């Protein structure tokens, strides 16, 4: 009786045997090599294989092989010669002149090079992918005119995934450094949508742009805040970045869409002068032609330090 070293070898043998029987019964000419009547054994370590090809590959790698060191030295020398040749060989793209490390990388680069007149387009470098707007379930819901709400089951799944996890300290420092640089360059906000450039400043919503244009018409100086303000929320401290700062009045401005409990909490903890403008305020100033009731903040936050 034939014995097998593992279940996988048994399954493989049964599969080939079944194929051979069906081929024979159907009168076909398909040739199937069977090694069921023999076990192939390594002469150095006694390891067994189900066919001679696996045994041949194992023998040259077997550490008990007397010629093992000689074979390894030969491979290392061949690999070293290949690496030295690759380093000496300098390859450049014939379209843009970019240096490539190998012939394979050069061929792939030239195939997708932007200066190649016969450039091959893929999903990642196509003009459609560069110009298309980002979309998700929230954007689709807004375009179709209904409100998307995440199910409680999905919220619990996300909470379980991040439960007890936190970013490494090095990554936190790197993120904070990037945020500070963007603040100094007037490019920071917590909105990851499309930025709007106006008067050498990047804004995160059309409401902000309309409001600063309104200030320009009133000859009121404004700038993007460069200071951060701490507030406590959900058992930890966070940074708050108001939208605008009016230096003549030492006043910070927040343009707010739909408010949240977190917004109310950080406004309560803000120690400076802060005026919050919601959809109703912008409508009363003539900046908006209409507004939704969802864009109205609580009455106690509507008080203003100055009248614009």
User: With contact defined as beta carbons under 8 Å apart, do 65 and 44 qualify?
Assistant: yes
Domain extent for 108? 90-132
Please check whether residues 128 and 228 belong to one and the same domain: no
Enumerate the H helices of the chain as residue ranges.
7-25, 52-59, 68-88, 103-112, 127-131, 137-144, 152-162, 169-184, 206-217, 261-269, 279-284
- As to burial, measured by CB atoms within 10 angstroms (0-12 exposed, 13-18 middle, 19+ buried), residue 275 is buried
Q: What is the DSSP string of 56-67?
A: HHHHTT-TTSTT
User: pLDDT tens string for the chain (308 positions)?
Assistant: 555 555 566 555 555 555 544 554 455 444 444 444 578 889 988 888 888 888 888 888 898 988 888 888 888 887 777 666 555 567 888 888 888 878 888 889 898 888 888 888 775 666 555 555 666 777 777 777 777 777 888 888 888 887 877 888 888 888 888 877 776 665 555 555 567 888 888 888 889 999 999 999 999 999 988 888 999 988 889 889 899 999 999 999 999 988 888 889 999 999 889 999 998 999 999 999 888 887 888 888 888 888 88
Q: Per the structure, how many domains does the chain have?
A: 2
Domain membership of residue 61 (yes or no) is no
| CB-CB contact of 70 with 61 (8 Å) | no
Query: Whole-prediction pTM value?
Result: 0.41
Same-domain status, 175 and 296? yes
From CA 303, how far away is CA 214, in angstroms rounded? 20
Domain ends where: 132, 158, 191? 132
In a domain, 9, yes or no: no
| Alpha-carbon distances of 281 from 171, 214, 218, 275, 284, rounded to whole Å | 40, 13, 16, 11, 5
How many secondary structure helices (H) and strands (E) does the chain include?
11, 11
């Amino acid at each position: 009786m034939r014995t097998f070293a593992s279940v996988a070898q048994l399954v493989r043998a049964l599969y080939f045997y079944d194929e051979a029987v069906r081929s024979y019964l159907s009168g076909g000419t398909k040739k199937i090599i069977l090694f069921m009547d023999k076990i192939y054994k390594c002469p150095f370590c006694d390891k067994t294989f189900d066919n001679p090809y696996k045994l041949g590959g194992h023998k040259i790698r077997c550490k008990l092989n007397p010629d093992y060191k000689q074979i390894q030295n030969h491979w290392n020398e061949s690999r070293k010669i290949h690496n030295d040749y690759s380093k000496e060989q300098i390859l450049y793209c014939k379209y843009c002149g970019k240096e490539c490390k190998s012939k394979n990388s050069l061929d792939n680069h030239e195939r997708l090079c932007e200066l190649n007149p016969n450039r091959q387009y893929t999903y990642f470098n196509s003009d459609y992918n560069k110009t298309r707007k980002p979309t998700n379930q929230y954007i689709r819901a807004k375009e179709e005119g209904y409100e998307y709400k995440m199910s409680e089951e999905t919220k619990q799944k996300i909470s379980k995934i991040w439960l007890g996890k936190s970013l490494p300290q090095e990554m936190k420092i790197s993120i904070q450094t990037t945020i500070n640089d963007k603040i100094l360059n007037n490019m920071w906000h917590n909105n990851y949508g499309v930025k709007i450039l106006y008067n050498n400043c990047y804004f995160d919503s059309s409401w902000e742009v309309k409001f600063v244009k309104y200030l320009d018409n009133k000859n009121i100086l404004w700038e993007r805040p460069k200071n951060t303000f701490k507030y406590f929320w959900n058992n930890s401290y966070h940074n708050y970045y108001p939208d605008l700062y009016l230096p003549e009045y030492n006043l910070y401005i927040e343009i707010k869409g739909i408010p949240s409990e977190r917004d109310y909490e950080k406004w309560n903890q803000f120690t400076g002068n802060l005026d919050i403008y919601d959809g109703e305020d912008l409508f009363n100033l003539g900046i908006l032609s209409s507004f939704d009731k969802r864009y109205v903040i609580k009455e106690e936050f509507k008080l203003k330090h100055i009248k614009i």
